[in-house]
Amino acid sequence: MVIDSEFFTKFLRFGLVGLSGVVVDFGITWLCKEKFKFHKYVANSLGFCTATVTNYLLNKYWTFHATGQDMFFEFSKFVGFALVGLLINNLVLFLLHGKMKLNFYLSKLIAIAIVSIWNFLGNYLYTFSA
């Protein structure tokens, strides 16, 4: 893997898309948990999944300018990394909030930071690679 200006540009764009995903994720999670009274892990999963779909579309067309792959296959790869990310996300949330009693939303923010690194590298190296 060569680290150059293109890598950093993609990383920055991925980060901006990720920030929009955080807004979507937190918004859906908060709505489901606080207003609809869903279980916190169900609400967390719904927020995460919704953000995954929006992030895929933004990353495909803006971050990686991906063309040429079958969209279903590409989305499947993206979702595969996202599902592993969801497991990591819920594990970190369980450890920090459930075991260490850290604030739920602070724990979620830390989990998102960890999962973001996983998702970028997986999608840069595999999903959207030329």
- Each domain of the chain, given as residue ranges in start order, spans 5-127
Average pLDDT over residues 21-47: 94
**Is the Cβ–Cβ distance between 58 and 20 less than 8 Å?**
yes
pLDDT at residue 48, as a whole number: 84
Average pLDDT over residues 45-64: 92
| Residue 52: pLDDT over 90 | no
CA 10-12-15 angle, to 5 degrees, is 110
pLDDT band at 2 (very low <50, low <70, confident <90, very high): low
pTM of this structure: 0.74
pLDDT band at 130 (very low <50, low <70, confident <90, very high): low
Going by C-alpha positions, the residue among 73, 29, 60, 61 that lies closest to residue 47 is: 29
Tokens linked to 49: 């999944």
Kindly tell me the number of DSSP H helices and DSSP E strands found in the chain.
Answer: 4, 0
Q: How far apart are CA 105 and CA 16, in angstroms?
A: 20
